[in-house]
Amino acid sequence: MKKKIESFINKIKNFVLDNKIFFLFVIVNVINDMVLRGITFGKLDNLFSIVPILSSVALVTLVLSFVYLFKKEFSKKLYMITITVFLTLLCIINSSYYNYFSSYTSISQLVTTKYLGEVKDSLITVVKLRDFIYLVLPTILIVYILKTKYKFSNTKSFKSFLKVNNLTVLCTILFMLNLRPVDYSRLVKQWNRIYLVEKFGLYVYHVNDVFQSVEPKLIAIFGYDKAKRNFKDYYGKRNDVQNYTNEYTNIFKGKNLISIHGESIQKFVIGLKINGKEVTPNLNRLVKQGMYFSNYYSQVSVGTSSDSEFTINTSLMPAKVGVAFVSYFDREYLTLPKLLKQLGYYNMSFHANKGDFWNRNSMYKSLGYDKFYDQKAFNIDETIGLGLSDKSFFRQLTPILKKENDSHKNFYATLIMLTNHTPFPDISKYSKDPLDLKMYVTENGVTNSYPYLEGTVLGRYLQSVHYADEALGELMEHLDKSGLLENTVIMFYGDHDARLSSSEYKRFYNYDYKNDKTMDESDPRYKKYGYYEHELNRSVPFFFWSKNDNAKINKTITNVMGAYDILPTLGNMFGFYNKYALGKDIFNTNNDNTVIFPNGNYVTNKIYYNSQSDEAYDIEKKEVIPKDLEPREYINKRTKETDQKLNISNDILVYDLLKKVGLKTNNELKVGK
């Protein structure tokens, strides 16, 4: 028996040595997957996690094993090198993508690559030197195989193909034995990309992603009946008309609505002072005078700004795969512009970017806008960052808005800001009164200055926000002088967070001026800023302001609120109703609302739930709740609701379910000056 075992081991050893180049290619590609997880997650336990290693070994071995079915030596080398270059590029792209989005890319996003030229400056800040570490081992191996005289067998070997795939089978079995039912469920749903890469590895995630990307075309044929049944069950018990009233019912009825889309403006800047100077004095004033929602979150996915527009105007979630504005622009939606149009409103959007960016020219028609003033409608007289400066944009659109107001009974206008966009170039020279980002410390009667935020991304961001706030103040002056504030409600929202790394905030809150660096976490003065602090810090500002109504609405609402809650809240205030809204009127939630995110996470007034780790963070106590103390019934109820809403929303997009129930409300969109 002992001899048989030794013989078997020797056979394996000899086979590996005879096929060392093959196994070196497997090892190199698996190591790259490990390094990606280690870098993006920032933890060594992710780097050496055995489960995703098993899945990557199985998949890479399977893919590379086809080399044994080629006959010519050149074809064999070309195949191995091509696969390795492809997988290496996949690692580089995902590593860079993670720097900005804190997630991983999708094959479906290839349809949006035509927009990269518009944000090429942003890409410079996204790609970091460390993202090219994945080139090191593949380059060494490829140079070695090209420079040496090593050759594969010049004949096909189906037997070798089967032998190496014994490793595929073994790793697959071990991998599957380590999975739980919830892991399979999340793989099918594809919402939480971070969890999938952590559990399955990058390569398996992308194979699944390919299937998920073609899923809409396939399930549109095979899954319609189930989707329709779930849709009817979900909405069947809802009233066709609003069946409640509260103190804000019809409070804004008959008023114009100007919605200001604040590019990348986060809540933490509200009230923030740097060296005694307010970063956002105009926003601070409007927040204090109007109705401020202090726990508002955008719910965007990879479509960023376009996802924000989509969710606010439809009360649906972003697409599970792809971008709603691009992949589902031809669907039927019941939207804010369409509902206001039924009340006699004229709907407009203003954005000084190209009309086809994020496919707005097409999507705005489906959303129900009557007119879109894009880049062609403006004189590009001052360019900052991605295009026309916000100050010039606001100055030029005011007379257009005045003209449209004089021609219509009521209007709804969306004003999309642009200047405060990553990569946040230094725009202090455009500000009337730029921020001083140094830190000043007085010791022994002597005041010294230290760099603090100078030269940091967060420092540039704060200068950029300061400029955006100045532009907003000028807009309010323009609107007031034009008489446009007399019968108008201003709605302001941050479209999404600035996507800054947690290291920027750690320096901000824990600056060690003596050493010009971030304090060590062991320092007793260190302010904790971890995963949950960073997630909660993604909150963005949202408020209503109305010149002649502020006395009636002046208050701060602390109930947690999401972008999908805006439409039903506005409906109660303006006098319309959307039966198919996923969100709720924030004043009809009994102060117990839930905001869900596209990755399956959610936040309530009590907890932030991380679907990746299945753990809950106590917002008041600022700590993860121990498993034995978790309010499991509370968590399970909201987790079930989250899954249901994400599924229903995605089904509406994929199967065009609102059209199937008889909605026909599309407009003709005019693009003009």
The residue assigned the tokens 């050893």 is 13
Rounded distance, CA 534 to CA 562, Å?
17
Top-confidence residue, 587 or 113: 587
Q: Are 136 and 28 in contact (CB under 8 A)?
A: no
Q: Are 257 and 340 in contact (CB under 8 A)?
A: yes
Rounded distance, CA 196 to CA 188, Å?
10
Instruction: Say which range, 171-185, 205-219, 454-468, 507-521, has the weakest mean pLDDT.
Output: 205-219
Rounded distance, CA 92 to CA 98, Å?
10
The predicted structure's pLDDT at residue 99: 73
* DSSP alpha helix (H) spans, 239-369: 281-289, 304-314, 324-327, 336-341, 360-367
320 — pLDDT class (breaks 50, 70, 90): confident
Q: What is the DSSP string of 151-201?
A: ---SS--HHHHHHHHHHHHHHHHHHHHT--HHHHHHHHH---HHHHHHHH-
Measured CA to CA in angstroms, residue 113 lies from 93, 117, 322, 329, 488 at distances of: 13, 8, 12, 17, 38
341 — pLDDT class (breaks 50, 70, 90): very high
Residue type, 381: D
Rounded distance, CA 301 to CA 601, Å?
12
Q: Is 235 exposed, middle or buried (0-12, 13-18, 19+ CB in 10 A)?
A: middle
What pLDDT digit, counting tens, does each position of 109-161 carry?
A: 555 555 444 444 454 555 778 889 999 999 999 998 888 766 766 556 888 88
Q: Are 455 and 268 in contact (CB under 8 A)?
A: no
Indicate the DSSP class of residue 238: S
11 — pLDDT class (breaks 50, 70, 90): low
- Taking residues 392-413, what's their average pLDDT? 97
Q: How far apart are the first and last CA of the chain?
A: 87
Measured CA to CA in angstroms, residue 240 lies from 578, 579, 581 at distances of: 8, 6, 12
Q: What is the DSSP string of 529-540?
A: --HHHHHHTT--
Of 371, 373, 306, 369, the closest CA to residue 338 belongs to 369
24 token code pair? 């070196």
101 — pLDDT class (breaks 50, 70, 90): low
Angle at 494 between CA 488 and CA 496, to 5 degrees: 150
318 — pLDDT class (breaks 50, 70, 90): very high
265 token code pair? 């403006």
Residue 247 pLDDT > 70: yes
182 — pLDDT class (breaks 50, 70, 90): low
91 token code pair? 């690692």
406 token code pair? 């004089």
Q: Is 213 exposed, middle or buried (0-12, 13-18, 19+ CB in 10 A)?
A: buried
Backbone angles phi, psi at 261, to 5 degrees: -90, 100
Rounded distance, CA 99 to CA 126, Å?
6
Residue 190 pLDDT > 80: no
Contacts of residue 129, defined as CB under 8 A and 6 or more positions apart, other chains included, come to: none
Q: Are 369 and 312 in contact (CB under 8 A)?
A: no
* Beta-bridge partners for 277: 274
Rounded distance, CA 425 to CA 427, Å?
6
- Taking residues 496-524, what's their average pLDDT? 94
The predicted structure's pLDDT at residue 41: 76
Top-confidence residue, 353 or 416: 416
Q: What global pTM score does this model have? A: 0.81
- Taking residues 587-594, what's their average pLDDT? 96
178 — pLDDT class (breaks 50, 70, 90): confident
- Taking residues 585-592, what's their average pLDDT? 96
The number of residues making up the chain comes to 673
Of 145, 38, 157, 44, the closest CA to residue 98 belongs to 38
The predicted structure's pLDDT at residue 408: 97
Q: Are 540 and 267 in contact (CB under 8 A)?
A: yes
Rounded distance, CA 137 to CA 656, Å?
47
Q: Are 492 and 286 in contact (CB under 8 A)?
A: yes
Backbone angles phi, psi at 448, to 5 degrees: -120, 155
Residue type, 28: V
Q: Are strands 410-416 and 256-262 parallel, antiparallel or unpaired?
A: parallel
The predicted structure's pLDDT at residue 1: 62
- Taking residues 202-208, what's their average pLDDT? 89
The predicted structure's pLDDT at residue 120: 46
Rounded distance, CA 206 to CA 55, Å?
12
Can you give the three-state secondary structure of 9-33, one letter per residue?
A: HHHHHHHHHHCHHHHHHHHHHHHHH
The predicted structure's pLDDT at residue 47: 75
The predicted structure's pLDDT at residue 310: 98
Rounded distance, CA 42 to CA 276, Å?
35
CB atoms within 10 A of CB 65: 19
The fraction of the chain above a pLDDT of 70, given in percent, is: 88
HSE value, Cβ hemisphere, 13 Å, CA-based, for 353: 24
Angle at 348 between CA 301 and CA 478, to 5 degrees: 105
